[in-house]
Chains A and B, each alone.
Chain A
Amino acid sequence: MPPDNDYTNKELMAAFVASEIADGEAVSVGASLPVCRAGILLAHLTHAPNLKVQISFTITNLRNVEVLPAFEFITDWRAGRWAEFLYNHDIGPDLYKRRRQAIFFIGGLQIDAYGNSNLIGIGSDFHHLKMRGPGGVGTASMGTNIGRYYLYTNAHNKQTLTERLDWRSCFGFGDGGADARTRLHLPGGGPRYCITPLCIFDFEETSKRMRLKSLHPGVTLEQVLDHTGFKPVVPDHVPTTPGPTPEQLRLLHERIDTDGVLRRP
């Protein structure tokens, strides 16, 4: 086990996710984004004891679970051991009124400067895509309706963070502008931040274009600009993303990420 002042980039990103979650909110824990999973559970075990955790088709409270083993598959029915409620997946469309305070994480094959994202595929001919993506899953509807969401990517490069999407499967702020979402009567608040292995972006208030919010420790502005396919708004002063506290690291190591997924290179 590493010393408490020694943390990985993924542990830092998980701590950032935790800092974004308020007590009493509802949040979905997926299987395929281990950083987001860890961040959500970290918030739950610290400042958010009343978090409504949606995990593997259950909704429950995990505050008193000693160790939270990670599941490789979202369908893992052993999550049922913690369940207070099991839900049928087809009730999803009926949950949005109660998801006005909920948060969600959305990834993408491509993410553009206005926070729109693409899971459909790469290539201009829909019937002959160069790379067929997995499909949009629930992102179009979640992105439209849910209180707020976070864009997340493990691949900070020009192919992923691109000025133009090949296909828009989830609406962030469209072509930009403060009224980009209200003009279309979209109930949800849209993306709040975009979290990458190099930095955090937020969205500039009037243009809704991505703006550098903080750089992770050791990352330079040039590095971010060199690896980003669009020109983000860069403020005069860009702070450093804060790292996890020793107590957060202890919880990650002993209760949330006991397999060390976030510590793998």
Chain B
Amino acid sequence: MTDGKRKDVIIGEDEAAGWIRDGMVISIGGFLNSSHPMPIIRAIIRNGIKNLTIVGAASAGLETDLLIGAGCAKTVIAPMISGESLAPIGPSFRYFAQRGAIEVVELDEHMYYQGLRAAAELMPSLPWRGGIGTDYAKINPRLKEFDDPVTGERLLAVAAINIDIALIHAAAADPFGNVQHIGTGFGDRAHHRAADRTIVTVDKVIANEEVRANPYRTSIAGVDAVVRAPYGSHPFASPGEYLEDAAHIREYVAAASARLKSGDNGPFDEYLQKYIVEPKNHAAYLTRIGFERILSLYEL
């Protein structure tokens, strides 16, 4: 049934988070300390979602670490999880991985992109050479060595990384799901192509006329849902909009590191309570962070 009108895809953060169910494969876009769809991440934790397979960015940041720390992850697929100088190795990732409490799918970033590309091409796997002679295939059952049928050279088959829902943060989108990143968009396009559905949080919703005024800037066309979320990447940066909140990220790192160092859950639970459980939505979260802090993230 149709009323003949083009349908917009803007939905609220709760409705978007409701798409994500126990046991799904989700991906999180961005890169290290930049561009993560944080209102959805926090809602996943508030909703108590479990057993997710999380496809992090090629260099995943501490948003993936936070989901692991909150007990949402069963399996993690990411070539690295780090907060760069703020936390060279994600502390919750370390804590859970060292206990065998999550499954780590070990791969390097170009194996990872071959896996995403295989999914996008509806292929079971794609070949890749990087990693021949290393231990990757011994510890990752999704990588299999084989002899190339054309030349006989030893190669790796990388199993497709199929995603149920890709979660991305970008500067802007129009109501019809035309996304315009500022900056490169990192590997977000590869997530979108490998996913059944894509949700994008945006710092602003722009008019369709604005997209048509500069279609060269559209980075992804036709995503399934757009969630309006100003400062939606906080505490991480959003290119062209605001810088990362290093002080807040340090607060998270201190809480997660306390558990890693001494097994004390207290500081991590306090962090969850203060920033995720009590503020029931993105606006309440920003209120808790405070206007002064938010406005300070423009110091260029």
Q: A residues touching B (Cβ–Cβ < 8 Å)?
A: 31-32, 57, 72-78, 80, 86-90, 92-93, 116, 119-121, 126-145, 167-171, 174, 184-187
The 4 closest A-B pairs by CB, nearest first: A141-B130, A75-B34, A77-B239, A141-B110
Residues of A within 8 A of B133 (CB): 144, 168, 171, 174, 184, 186
Residues of A within 8 A of B189 (CB): 88, 90
Contact B116 A90 (CB under 8 A): yes
Q: Which residues in window 6-46 of B have CB below 8 A to A?
A: 31-35
Residues of B within 8 A of A143 (CB): 130
Residues of A within 8 A of B186 (CB): 57, 75, 88-90
Closest to A145 in B: B130
**Is residue B128 contacting chain A, with contact meaning CB distance below 8 A?**
yes
Known: A144-B130, A186-B132. A77 touches B110 (CB 8 A): no
**Is residue B237 contacting chain A, with contact meaning CB distance below 8 A?**
yes
Q: Which residues in window 81-128 of B have CB below 8 A to A?
A: 81-82, 84-85, 88-90, 93-94, 97-100, 104, 106-111, 113-114, 116-117, 128
Contact A128 B116 (CB under 8 A): no
Residues of A within 8 A of B139 (CB): 120, 126, 167
15 further interface pairs, Cβ-Cβ under 8 Å (given A75-B244, A135-B78, A144-B133) = A75-B35, A75-B237, A90-B186, A92-B113, A131-B94, A134-B82, A135-B81, A135-B106, A137-B59, A138-B79, A140-B130, A167-B139, A168-B135, A171-B132, A187-B129
Ordered by A's residue number, 9 sampled pairs between the chains whose C-beta atoms are within 8 Å are A75-B33, A75-B239, A89-B58, A90-B189, A134-B88, A135-B82, A140-B130, A144-B132, A168-B134
Binds A, one of B47-55, B177-185, B200-208, B272-280: B177-185
Question: B61 to chain A: closest CB distance in Å?
Answer: 9
Interface size class, chain B: 35 or more
Known: A86-B184, A120-B135, A141-B111. A135 touches B79 (CB 8 A): yes
**Is residue B300 contacting chain A, with contact meaning CB distance below 8 A?**
yes
Contact B116 A185 (CB under 8 A): no
Query: Binding site of B, secondary structure by majority: helix, strand, loop or mixed?
Result: loop
Question: A85 to chain B: closest CB distance in Å?
Answer: 10
Residues of A within 8 A of B246 (CB): 72
CA distance A80 to B153 in the complex (A): 40
Query: Binding site of A, secondary structure by majority: helix, strand, loop or mixed?
Result: loop
CA distance A264 to B100 in the complex (A): 39
Contact with A along B125-148 (1 / 0, CB 8 A): 000111111111001000000000
Contact B184 A57 (CB under 8 A): yes
Contact with A along B244-283 (1 / 0, CB 8 A): 1010000000000000000000000000000000000000
Known: A89-B187, A185-B154, A186-B132. A132 touches B97 (CB 8 A): yes
Contact A139 B108 (CB under 8 A): yes
Closest to A137 in B: B80
Contact A73 B33 (CB under 8 A): yes
Known: A137-B80, A168-B134, A186-B132. A89 touches B111 (CB 8 A): no
Known: A88-B189, A93-B114, A141-B111. A133 touches B79 (CB 8 A): no
**Most central of A116, A141, A184 by chain B CB within 10 Å:** A141
Contact B97 A73 (CB under 8 A): no
Residues of A within 8 A of B106 (CB): 120, 126, 135-136
CA distance A257 to B252 in the complex (A): 30
CA distance A143 to B130 in the complex (A): 8
Residues of A within 8 A of B237 (CB): 73, 75-77
Known: A92-B109, A169-B134, A186-B132. A77 touches B154 (CB 8 A): no
**Is residue B4 contacting chain A, with contact meaning CB distance below 8 A?**
no
